[in-house]
């Protein structure tokens, strides 16, 4: 009996996961075609249920004002929810929010926060985060200034084909 219950539960979880994936794909399609209100309807329940990619998309919608009133504080909250689940893109965008002060005015050390989020994304291979982390090290923002550490991260981004990093490395040599 226990095996039947476990199999039934696994089947239900698979159906729910497939439905969530379909809803997310529909939301992405609607977002890309400019149907922002429909995208919002698709992403909102998924994001509230903990779907990290939907949380990221909502963060982007609020940051850029796509179908919603632009609100960086709300964007920051959605990015943080996705970032806390390990979403590298959300971690990168949190770094950006702190770097540029978007919705983060109350933080006493935004550069430190930016570095921490860039670092998390960079460790997952996010090239843009690696490049930005390298720049933070070169400038000594949020970290002790280190030319060596900065170039290490910029070179990692360059090896992944990040064009600005490649240009930076080329100009440095």
Query: What was the pLDDT predicted at 21?
Result: 61
Give the Å distances, CA to CA, from 137 to 87, 107, 113, 116: 23, 20, 14, 12
For the chain, what percent of residues have pLDDT higher than 70? 87
Q: How many helices (H) and strands (E) does the chain have?
A: 9, 0
- Asked whether residue 132 carries a pLDDT value surpassing 60, the answer given is yes
Q: Which residue ranges form the domains of the chain, and what is each CATH number?
A: 1-85 (1.25.40), 86-173 (1.25.40.10)
For range 129-153, the mean pLDDT: 97
State pLDDT tens for residues 90-124: 999 999 999 999 988 788 899 999 999 999 999 99
For range 128-140, the mean pLDDT: 97
> What's the longest Cα–Cα distance across the chain?
68
- Asked whether residue 40 carries a pLDDT value surpassing 50, the answer given is yes
Please work out, in degrees rounded to the nearest 5, the angle formed at the alpha carbon of residue 104 by the alpha carbons of 74 and 39: 25
State pLDDT tens for residues 145-167: 999 999 999 999 999 999 999 99
| Average pLDDT score, the chain | 88
Contact criterion met (CB below 8 Å) for 118 and 110: no
Which element (helix H / strand E) includes 95?
helix 88-100
For the chain, what percent of residues have pLDDT higher than 90? 78
Please work out, in degrees rounded to the nearest 5, the angle formed at the alpha carbon of residue 104 by the alpha carbons of 102 and 107: 155
């Amino acid at each position: 009996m226990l095996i039947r219950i476990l199999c039934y539960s696994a089947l239900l979880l698979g159906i729910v996961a497939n439905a969530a994936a379909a809803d997310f794909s529909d939301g992405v399609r609607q977002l890309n075609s400019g149907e922002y209100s429909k995208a919002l309807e698709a992403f909102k329940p998924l994001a509230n249920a903990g779907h990290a990619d939907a949380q990221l998309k909502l963060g982007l919608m609020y940051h850029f004002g796509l179908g919603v009133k632009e609100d960086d504080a709300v964007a920051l909250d959605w990015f943080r929810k996705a970032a806390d689940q390990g979403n590298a893109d959300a971690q990168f965008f949190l770094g950006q929010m702190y770097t540029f002060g978007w919705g983060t005015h109350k933080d006493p050390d935004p550069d430190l926060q930016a570095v921490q989020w860039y670092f998390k994304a960079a460790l997952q291979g996010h090239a843009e985060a690696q490049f930005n982390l390298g720049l933070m090290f070169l400038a000594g923002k949020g970290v002790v200034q280190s030319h060596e550490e900065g170039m290490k991260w910029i070179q990692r981004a360059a090896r992944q084909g990040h064009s600005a990093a490649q240009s930076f490395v080329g100009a440095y040599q």
